[in-house]
Amino acid sequence: MRILITGANGLLGSKLAATALSRGFEVFSGYILDSPMVGKPIPMDITDEASVRRAFKQSRPDAVFHCAAMTDVDKCEEDQEAAIKVNSEGTRTISRQAALSSSYIAYISTDYVFDGAKGNYIESDPTNPVNAYGRSKLLGEEVVRSSGADFLIARSSVIYGAQPAMGKVNFALWLLESLRARKPVTLLTDQCVSPTLNTSLAGMLLESFEKHLTGTYHMAGATRVSRYEFGSALAGTFGLDQSLIRAATALDFQGRWKAARPPDSSLDVSKATSILQTKPLALNDALKELREEIDG
């Protein structure tokens, strides 16, 4: 089977490419700047329709995994036009081409489509994003649904992994680097999420394609935790000093953020758990796997 991955240099895209190759898929890795190390590289700008057409013509994918996105929440707030261009219009271009090519499309969405008023969201809960990032990703969901392609919308939360991507460390690696350097970190006790190991998400996405699942699924970690609780669990798994982690609330961060954050955007993953053999991981299991990947 032939798959095309947008954003193949990213945290999820790179792991997805490596996992797919190990399972015998023919992988085409879309990129803009730096050529990916895994898969067959294809230059691809998702905001340029001609570029997308060329990539589809070259790869002839059975499925496209649309991982590319503008994900910096504050930058999306500062430049909302760019967020819409990438996360909504770029997704429209990809999903339109998927429909024309009779390709399955898996669109990676976010817990930030919810306002965080209740947490533990199921797929059918009303969406109500509180920032430009969430709005742009929700618009992406809408264009995928109306594209005419067979689609999967996979909402995830705080994706992390063992390797930096595109020169940037993810939340877990930033914590590890800080704690190993004995630098104090400040984490929120009142912002709850469902942290997701990229290895786990990649496995769920590939199985979803193999099963040809369609519709909306929450594919995230199976444990609802605050950022502070996540940091404490990570420190415990890696044998680091938990006293370096200082507790704070969202009020303490007022003025530092350009964009509002939902207080509890955690996701209920019961639907995915009931269908997939690659189950969403509980936090302790995911952190053990992260340590194994880092330690080699």
pLDDT above 90: residue 34: no
pLDDT at 289: 98
Region 2-163+195-222+267-282: CATH code: 3.40.50.720
pLDDT at 18: 97
Which residue is listed with tokens 């429209």?
92
What is d(CA 111, CA 117) in angstroms, rounded to the nearest whole number? 12
The pLDDT tens digits for 180-234 are 999 999 999 999 999 999 999 999 999 999 999 999 999 999 999 999 999 999 9
Whether 217 sits among the annotated catalytic residues: the reply is no
* Mean pLDDT of the 106-114 span: 98
- Helical (H) or strand (E) element with 110: strand 104-110
Beta strand 40-43 pairing with 159-160: unpaired
pLDDT at 216: 98
Cβ-in-10-Å burial (0-12, 13-18, 19+) of 57 comes to exposed
Domain range annotation of the chain: 2-163+195-222+267-282
DSSP 3-state assignment of 104? Answer: strand
Burial pattern 154-171, b for ≥16 Cβ within 10 A else e, equals bbbbbbbbbeebeeebbb
The pLDDT tens digits for 128-168 are 999 999 999 999 999 999 999 999 999 999 999 999 988 78
**pLDDT over 70 for what percent of the chain?**
100
β-partners of residue 110 are 156
pLDDT at 255: 78
DSSP 3-state assignment of 147? Answer: coil
> Confidence class of residue 33 from pLDDT cuts 50, 70 and 90?
confident
* Mean pLDDT of the 6-34 span: 96
pLDDT at 252: 86
Backbone angles phi, psi at 281, to 5 degrees: -90, 135
What is d(CA 282, CA 285) in angstroms, rounded to the nearest whole number? 5
Cβ-in-10-Å burial (0-12, 13-18, 19+) of 79 comes to middle
Helices (H), the chain: 11-22, 49-59, 73-78, 80-83, 90-100, 132-145, 171-180, 198-211, 227-238, 270-275, 283-295
What is d(CA 87, CA 189) in angstroms, rounded to the nearest whole number? 29
What is d(CA 109, CA 281) in angstroms, rounded to the nearest whole number? 18
Q: Looking at 104, 133, 217, 228, which residue is catalytic?
A: 133
Give pTM, 2 decimals: 0.97
* Mean pLDDT of the 104-124 span: 98
